[in-house]
């Protein structure tokens, strides 16, 4: 039974306000959780409620969302008993009563959803990842394989280059510890390379990726290859790459403005194919804009034999958009971000829709994170193929990696193999 739901305004990894909730059950069990926010957001995402008061945090305050937790949500749910997580979340969704959660705020609803999950797991004596596993019927727990930011551009790094992230995929690592050690070595090699090349240290982007002043996208790829080799690893065989193109952010009037050139949709697909042919790229996220639906099937058919065609802004962790992508054969993998839909129950439904289509799933953090580590348990409990947290350079990211190291060493969980196309 719910005794108390209390919200707090805290700061995320960018120093911007976000929401934390404490859930107290009738027996005194307490669970708390904080929620992230994104910089690169899809138009179909559930609404983060912000205050809009320009005199405070430039309008980004979350006091309205916190007040909704402490008043409307607390009053409606206090003294109530729920059969499961879905019932609790559905009560929140019904209380909000809007399609995009703009009344109470997706940040308020998700913080309550996660805090309740933590409290119930603790009350029932269940490890959090196993509690999450019950929501999706999973009891075969493995650690997701990490995809880790090396270089960043786009909205995560002030737009030095249009592509948002180049990530490392330690495909041959047998353990999470080995995977992180290999990435650490490449990250340091890249830092040294950039210092030698430019005579200065590279800035770090929102998620900890290095953000040097690349002259063009090809230079980014070439420096990544050099960093992998300098670390003593074989590109492709031991260390591969993934891309978050985030094309929606440079899609203007039906064209893709790459800064150095402008391409139509077919031209953009051809460019991405040239990257995949030239470099060991295993996943391409948002290769086209979120509303460029007509050409997504062509992108998928062009790349599907070589890499994942991953939908983020295209899908926004929304069942309806996933179903449309399945019907139109527009993707073969989901980037799952819980705050895009605003509750655990809805994210679990999105996961089921993707799994029913035979898709792979990458569970993802956001650019504005906190030190909370629930994402590691979620990705493990929901049988995520991959996890995308960010780089290994900031405590908000390391909290999740450290949780997976804890699960590997303490619970003896194994890391998932990379599933290649056709396997």
Query: How many Cβ atoms from other residues are within 10 Å of residue 104's Cβ?
Result: 26
CA distance 321 to 317: 8
DSSP H helices, 231-384, are 265-278, 296-303, 319-328, 338-341, 344-356, 374-381
Query: How many Cβ atoms from other residues are within 10 Å of residue 55's Cβ?
Result: 8
Task: Return the closest-CA partner of residue 387 out of 420, 416, 414.
Answer: 416
Between CA 352 and CA 359, with CA 357 as vertex, the angle to 5 degrees is 85
* Interhelix angle 374-381/395-410, nearest 10 degrees: 50
CA distance 245 to 271: 11
Q: Which residues pair with 363 in a beta bridge?
A: 336, 387
Q: In Å, how far from its chain's centre is CA 140?
A: 22
* Interhelix angle 85-96/344-356, nearest 10 degrees: 110
Between CA 30 and CA 85, with CA 372 as vertex, the angle to 5 degrees is 50
Q: Which residues pair with 11 in a beta bridge?
A: 17
> How far are the Cα atoms of 93, 162, 213, 223 from residue 279, in angstroms, in the given order?
44, 18, 21, 12
- Give Cβ neighbours of residue 318 (< 8 Å, ≥ 6 apart): 44, 340, 341, 350
Q: Which residues are catalytic?
A: 207, 337
* The residue to which tokens 């737009």 are assigned: 159
Q: What's the token pair of residue 358?
A: 């035979």
Query: How many Cβ atoms from other residues are within 10 Å of residue 121's Cβ?
Result: 22
């Amino acid at each position: 039974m719910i005794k108390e739901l209390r919200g707090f305004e805290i700061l995320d990894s960018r120093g911007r306000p976000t929401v934390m909730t404490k859930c107290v059950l009738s027996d005194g069990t307490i669970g708390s959780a904080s929620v992230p926010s994104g910089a690169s957001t899809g138009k179909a995402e559930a609404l983060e409620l912000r205050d809009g008061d320009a005199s405070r945090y430039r309008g980004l305050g979350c006091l309205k969302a916190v007040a909704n937790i402490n008043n409307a949500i607390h009053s409606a749910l206090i003294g109530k008993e729920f059969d499961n997580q879905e019932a609790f979340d559905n009560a929140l969704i019904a209380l909000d009563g809007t399609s995009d959660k703009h009344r109470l705020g997706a940040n308020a609803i998700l913080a309550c959803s996660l805090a309740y999950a933590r409290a119930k797991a603790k009350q029932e004596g269940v490890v959090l990842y196993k509690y999450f596993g019950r929501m999706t019927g999973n009891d075969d727990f493995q650690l997701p394989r990490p995809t880790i930011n090396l270089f960043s551009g786009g909205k995560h790094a002030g737009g030095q280059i249009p592509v948002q992230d180049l990530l490392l995929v330690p495909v041959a690592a047998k353990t999470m510890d080995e995977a992180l050690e290999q990435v650490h070595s490449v990250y340091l090699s890249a830092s040294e390379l950039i210092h030698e090349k430019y005579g200065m240290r590279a800035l770090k982007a929102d998620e900890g990726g290095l953000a040097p002043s690349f002259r063009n996208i090809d230079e980014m790829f070439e420096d990544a290859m050099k960093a992998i080799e300098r670390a003593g690893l074989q590109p492709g065989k031991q260390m591969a790459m993934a891309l978050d193109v985030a094309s929606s952010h440079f899609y203007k009037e039906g064209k893709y403005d790459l800064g150095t050139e402008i391409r139509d949709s077919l031209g953009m697909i051809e460019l991405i194919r040239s990257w995949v042919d030239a470099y060991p790229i295993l996943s391409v996220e948002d290769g086209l804009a979120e509303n460029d639906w007509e050409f997504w099937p062509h992108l998928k058919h062009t790349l599907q034999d070589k890499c994942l065609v991953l939908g983020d802004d295209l899908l926004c962790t929304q069942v309806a958009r996933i179903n449309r992508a399945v019907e139109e054969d527009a993707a073969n993998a989901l980037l799952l971000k819980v705050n895009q839909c605003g509750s655990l129950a809805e994210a679990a439904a999105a996961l089921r829709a993707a799994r029913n289509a035979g898709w792979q799933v990458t569970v993802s953090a956001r650019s504005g994170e906190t030190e909370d580590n629930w994402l590691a348990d979620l990705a493990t409990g929901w049988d995520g193929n991959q996890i995308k947290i960010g780089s290994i350079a900031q405590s908000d990211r390391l909290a999740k990696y450290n949780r997976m190291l804890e699960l590997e060493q303490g619970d003896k969980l194994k890391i998932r193999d990379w599933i290649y196309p056709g396997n």
